[in-house]
Structure 1
Amino acid sequence: MSDKLPQQQQNSEEVDLGQLFNMIGNLFTRLFNFIGSIFKAIFSVFIYALQAVFKNFKLIAIVMILAAIIGFVLQRTQKDVYESQMLVKPYFDSKFQLVTNINYYNALIGERDYNQLTALFDINEDEAKQIIGFEIHPGPENENDQLVQYDKFLKGLDSILAQEVDFEEFLENRSIYSGDIFEINVKSFKKDIFRSLEEGLNSTFTNTYSVKKMQKRDSLIAIDRRQILASLKDVDSLQKVYLSVMEEESKSKQGSYTTKDGMSFIQEKTKTREYELLEEENKLRKALAKLDAQKVEEDVFFDTLSSFQDVGAKYTSIWNRYVLIFPALAFVLLCLVYLIRRLTKYVLSYE
């Protein structure tokens, strides 16, 4: 009796394992059947679509040819569009005023306020009517520029938030104001108008905030300059003192003397710090040169890195190629009409 119990338990375990393997096999079978049904459905849709195209091939060909002809004629009658780019580097946060003014110019074009445009750019009304629009984008940059912007961004955050923003996320979500160089793009029907617009665009960088910021920068530079010059004067005075001490010591007889008792003494040389003073002087002069260079380099509200071309380049876009767009739209429209007709027949015949 006791020998039969282990044998029955073993048979029960074998049955359980068999059922488990059968369940796993059925699960994989259902999964493969499901995947196969998806591919079969996709293949069926593809075949049905080809059948519809073959059955209505003549109609589709005629409609698409007519659409291509209409698109070609319309494309030939459209005016040529020209574009030109300008690269600028704003200072003193004048980039905010630049972006605001670009949006303002586009609003004037949308409202057809040509009088205001002629006053802003010093052009005549006919030339103002030829302007299509302005665009502004971040200028060209390398990975080092992006890393500098990222480091500057992190310094404005606390330590907890800085850990949550990685470099890739920063690049995806940064605003147009993050960069230092900007590309201004202008489109126009007139190919040689761009040079005339440059002077008007240059005036967009000046605003009260930028002027005050420049004046504040100049005042701080003047204060730092006075402090550095005063320090240089002190260093020069100390150098003269050390020099006079050294001259006095050199005049003494070999730096020694003898008393009446016949005892000889050697006079110790005064310890001076000529090397430290020289290092301090070089450090101060470098700081002074840096201040002067900063004022010279940023003495304007912007720098023009690349001006508009005398003659703009012809603007081409896939959306302006009507000879291709119209046939594609016609084909999509035919597909929608076909689907609507089939759906209508199915609904009416449904019981």
Structure 2
Amino acid sequence: MSEKLPQDSQNEEVDLGQLFNAIGNLFDRLFSFLGRFIKGIFSAIIFSLKPIVNNFKLIAIVLMLSVVVGVVSERFKTPIYVSDMLVKPYYDSKYQLANNVDYFNALIGSQNYTELSKIFEIDSSTTAKELIGFEIEIGPETQNDLLKEYDDYIKSLDSTLAVEVTYEDFIENRDILAGSIFSIKAKATNNDIFPSLEQGFIKTFKNEYSIKFKARTDSIREVKKQNYLEELERVEKLQETYLDIKTNESSKGELKLGANGLIPLIQEKTETKEYELFQEELKIRSALRILEEEALEESEYYDILSSFEDVGTIESNSFERYSLIFPAISLLIMVLVYVVFKAFKFIKEYE
């Protein structure tokens, strides 16, 4: 028994020694890998900067010339002016609006200035040629507007589907035509052409479909109004009847035998429902008020919340900053030429 104890101790010491050696070798390999990795990054940076340093004068001259050419191009470039109009279409005329914007852009692209002059009632020889294009976007919306729109959308879905649609999913997958207010951006090379474009978009809102839709909506609204008025008239007649009953009972003061003819004598009063009728009257009048408000609000085919400005503003586009774009393109071309030259040299000298 005593002979086995020293052997077990020696085995444990050997195992611990091997473990420490393995850990030490692992750290050595880790530090060696990190050293090679950092050295590789440093070498790659130096290798990338070396051509720039060797050809610094050439690169500086090319970049300076590119900046000069870019500045001159910006000075002589025809400025593009933009102006916005905010509209609120009714009777689903927003679909025709989106379709017409694409149509107007197609006319501009095909240089059909005659048709453009007819639509916007402008001169085809000069003014129509100054149009560049139109863009349509959802107009400004508050958080409350989005929440209300989301609530209406959820109510229109089945209960099983409504649970799966979150507010974030609704906003992310929302189509441009889901909005009620739209921003129309016009672009032109003339800064005072924009007020004359408004008439062309007004024609868009009053189309064949929206006219039929408005007539149908007005008819339905009128039918509802007549039904509410008839119901209100019946309620008022019942109120008058109950009032007459109360007046007669208070004036005559009739006494009847209570408890099937047994004494004492009591005065029995007819049960009426004036409060319920009053509540019903309030509901009907509220419904009539909502109908009248809708009729007033949607009496037109559109509302122009903000017209085109009389004078457009110069469009600021980072992709047209030639003083920055030209140097970037020149640098990219020089890098590509250097890489191609090195690749050819490597292929030619390869054995």
Q: TM-score, normalised by structure 2?
A: 0.88
Matches within 5 A, 1:1-351: 4=4, 11=11, 15=15, 34=33, 37-125=36-124, 126-253=126-253, 255-256=254-255, 265-351=265-351
**CA distance 1:170–1:54, change in 2 (3 Å):** same
CA shift digits 1:254-299 (9 cap, x unpaired): x5479xxxx7623222221111111111111011000111111112
Quick one: which amino acid aligns to residue 84 of structure 1? Answer: S
Which one is further off, 140-149 or 82-91? Answer: 140-149
The CA deviation at 1:6 is 12
Which one is further off, 161-170 or 19-28? Answer: 19-28
CA shift digits 1:72-131 (9 cap, x unpaired): 222111111110001111122211111110000000000000000000000001100001
Quick one: which amino acid aligns to residue 216 of structure 1? Answer: R
Residue 260 (structure 2) aligns with: none
User: 2-side partners of 1:46 and 1:235: how far apart?
Assistant: 89
Contact 2:96 2:204 in 1 (8 A): yes
Contact 1:256 1:264 in 2 (8 A): no
Quick one: which amino acid aligns to residue 97 of structure 1? Answer: Q
The CA deviation at 1:43 is 2.8
User: 2-side partners of 1:59 and 1:97: how far apart?
Assistant: 57
The CA deviation at 1:330 is 0.8
Quick one: which amino acid aligns to residue 189 of structure 1? Answer: T
Quick one: which amino acid aligns to residue 145 of structure 1? Answer: D
CA shift digits 1:30-49 (9 cap, x unpaired): 56655654444333222222
Quick one: which amino acid aligns to residue 68 of structure 2? Answer: I
Quick one: which amino acid aligns to residue 308 of structure 1? Answer: F
User: 2-side partners of 1:41 and 1:160: how far apart?
Assistant: 57
Which one is further off, 68-77 or 166-175? Answer: 166-175
Quick one: which amino acid aligns to residue 280 of structure 1? Answer: E
Where structure 1 has 5 or more consecutive residues not aligned to the other structure, the ranges are none
User: 2-side partners of 1:30 and 1:301: how far apart?
Assistant: 77
The CA deviation at 1:171 is 2.3
Quick one: which amino acid aligns to residue 85 of structure 1? Answer: D
Q: TM-score, normalised by structure 1?
A: 0.88
User: 1-side partners of 2:27 and 2:159: how far apart?
Assistant: 50
Contact 1:257 1:264 in 2 (8 A): no
**CA distance 1:48–1:124, change in 2 (3 Å):** same
The CA deviation at 1:350 is 2.4
User: 2-side partners of 1:329 and 1:313: how far apart?
Assistant: 28
Question: What secondary structure, in the 3-state scheme, does the structure 1 residue paired with 2:187 have?
Answer: strand
Question: What secondary structure, in the 3-state scheme, does the structure 1 residue paired with 2:127 have?
Answer: helix
State the identity %. Answer: 48
CA shift digits 1:173-218 (9 cap, x unpaired): 3221121111100111100000000111111123333222222221
The CA deviation at 1:57 is 0.9
**CA distance 1:3–1:328, change in 2 (3 Å):** same
User: 2-side partners of 1:65 and 1:111: how far apart?
Assistant: 39
Question: What secondary structure, in the 3-state scheme, does the structure 2 residue paired with 1:309 have?
Answer: coil
User: 2-side partners of 1:6 and 1:117: how far apart?
Assistant: 105
User: 2-side partners of 1:188 and 1:251: how far apart?
Assistant: 83
Aligned residues between the structures: 345
Which one is further off, 5-14 or 211-220? Answer: 5-14
Which one is further off, 51-60 or 107-116? Answer: 51-60
User: 1-side partners of 2:285 and 2:349: how far apart?
Assistant: 95
User: 1-side partners of 2:112 and 2:200: how far apart?
Assistant: 16
User: 1-side partners of 2:290 and 2:52: how far apart?
Assistant: 74
User: 2-side partners of 1:127 and 1:91: how far apart?
Assistant: 30
Where structure 2 has 5 or more consecutive residues not aligned to the other structure, the ranges are 258-262
Which one is further off, 65-74 or 122-131? Answer: 65-74
**Coordinate RMSD, CA, aligned:** 2.8
The CA deviation at 1:161 is 4.3
The CA deviation at 1:13 is 11
Contact 2:66 2:323 in 1 (8 A): yes
Quick one: which amino acid aligns to residue 95 of structure 1? Answer: K
